[in-house]
Amino acid sequence: MADSGCRPAEPSGAVIDQCLGQLKDGYMCLARQLHPGKRKAGGKPAEWEALAAALARRNLDPYEYLQYCYDVVVPHVRHFCASAVLPLANVHRFAKDKPDLDQRRALLVELQFVEVERRLMQGDTIDVIICDSRASLSAVFRYAVAKAFGLQELVGQLGEDARHMLLFKPVYRRLLHGLLEEKQKHGGVDRPNAASAGQQAGTGSVVVPPVT
């Protein structure tokens, strides 16, 4: 009997080519952090093309997939190399784990909003808060708040790390959209509540350990 289930449409060659370019760009970006002299991605062209097609077919972000491999796969193989990212089984694992990862990051953002609001109520200024190394605030969150409040010097200082996180962990672009795109017109910070943050990440709202 023929399979009557709905299958995703095959991506066009242009979409696969774009995904392939992003894969190689992102791979070299991460690889050079560990091996500054690295010049080639390794692996066979056909393997990279198959990986790009698999990601495009599932509409998965290539940069986010590479970060997943860097965080989850590499600790087991102890080396960030083509063999850590090319197996198509990793795409299935990433697709399965992504909702939980997005949910954890949504909770992390919510907790950071809570911390900033608490400090503001205690009388601290926004620049003091985001410059406090003891505060449990990620680089991308500090950057988003600095950008929203027009603190250009801090935006410049935090920009490189934040842009890396926004590229490789794109869920933060959705969760911090209000700060990244809109200037704040009052003393607080506009934020989604826990439920809406979970919905933006494509999940419900549960208590889980935060991840960066």
* Residue-level pLDDT, tens digit, the chain, 212 residues: 444 455 556 888 899 999 999 999 999 888 887 777 767 778 899 999 999 999 999 999 999 999 999 888 877 666 778 888 999 999 999 999 999 999 999 999 999 999 999 999 999 999 999 999 999 999 999 999 999 888 999 899 888 888 888 899 888 888 888 787 755 444 455 554 333 333 333 332 222 223 33
Same domain? For 153 and 189 the reply is: yes
Using CA atoms, how far residue 17 sits from 9, 64, 169, 170, 192, in Å, is: 16, 17, 21, 20, 36
Backbone angles phi, psi at 78, to 5 degrees: 65, 20
Number of domains in the chain: 2
Q: Supply the range of the domain harboring residue 33.
A: 13-87
CA distance 29 to 21: 12
Name the helix (H) or strand (E) containing 168: helix 152-168
Residue 8 carries which DSSP code? P
Residue 98's CB is within 10 A of a number of other CB atoms, namely: 20
Using CA atoms, how far residue 139 sits from 17, 136, 173, 181, in Å, is: 31, 10, 13, 17
Name the helix (H) or strand (E) containing 108: helix 89-121
Task: Give a yes or no: residue 49 inside a domain.
Answer: yes
- Return the closest-CA partner of residue 147 out of 165, 131, 132, 159: 159
Question: Which of 52, 87, 122 finishes a domain?
Answer: 87
CA 28 to chain centre: 17
Name the helix (H) or strand (E) containing 111: helix 89-121
Same domain? For 83 and 103 the reply is: no
pTM of the complete model beyond 0.85: no
Same domain? For 110 and 62 the reply is: no
Same domain? For 75 and 106 the reply is: no
Structure tokens of 209? Answer: 């350990």
- Return the closest-CA partner of residue 91 out of 44, 140, 53, 36: 53
